[in-house]
C-alpha cells in the first residue's frame, strides 16, 4: 500500500535554482526516508528523518518533517544537471511504503 504521495509529479528547473519536493502521508510513521533514482537504475538512499526530528541536512539537501501536517519536504539547493532523477519519499510504518515519485529535470 502506497502511503507517501509526492508533489509535484514533475519539476523542471535551471541549474543553480533550488528544487523543492513535497511528500504527504496518511498515518503515523516511525521515520520518513528520501531516495533518488536515476533512469534505469536502483534507488539511492539520501536522508532518513525520524518522527521526533523536524529538520535534517546533508550537503545541498535539506529535509523537513511536520508530523502534525503529515508532510515532509526535500529541498535541493543550487541544483546541478547531475541532480536530474526521480525522487521518492518512503514512509516507515511496518514496512517502507514508497510514493510514485517526483521527476526532476535540471537543465544547463
Partner 1 sequence: DGGITQSPKYLFRKEGQNVTLSCEQNLNHDAMYWYRQDPGQGLRLIYYSQIVNDFQKGDIAEGYSVSREKKESFPLTVTSAQKNPTAFYLCASSIGTLNNQPQHFGDGTRLSIL
Residues in touch with partner 1 (CB under 8 A): 1-2, 4, 30-31, 33, 40-45, 48, 88, 92-96, 98-101
User: Nearest distance from residue 16's CB to partner 1, in Å?
Assistant: 28
With respect to partner 1, which residue has the nearer C-beta, 14 or 27?
Answer: 27
Closest CA to 77 of 47, 40, 106: 106
Q: How far is the CB of 108 from partner 1 (least distance, A)?
A: 25
- Which residues sit opposite 105 in a β-bridge? 12
* Bridge-based pairing state of the strands 10-14 and 71-76: unpaired
Q: What does the block give as the cell for 20?
A: 523543492
CB of 18 to partner 1, least distance (A): 24
Amino acid at each position: 500500500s502506497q502511503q507517501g504521495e509526492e508533489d509535484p509529479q514533475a519539476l523542471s528547473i535551471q541549474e543553480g535554482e533550488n528544487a523543492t519536493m513535497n511528500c504527504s502521508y496518511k498515518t503515523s510513521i516511525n521515520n520518513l526516508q528520501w531516495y533518488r533514482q536515476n533512469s534505469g537504475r536502483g534507488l539511492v538512499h539520501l536522508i532518513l528523518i525520524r518522527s521526533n526530528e523536524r529538520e535534517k541536512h546533508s550537503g545541498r539537501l535539506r529535509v523537513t518533517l511536520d508530523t502534525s501536517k503529515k508532510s515532509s519536504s526535500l529541498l535541493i539547493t543550487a541544483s546541478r544537471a547531475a541532480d536530474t532523477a526521480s525522487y521518492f519519499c518512503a514512509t516507515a510504518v511496518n514496512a517502507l511504503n514508497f510514493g510514485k515519485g517526483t521527476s526532476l529535470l535540471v537543465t544547463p
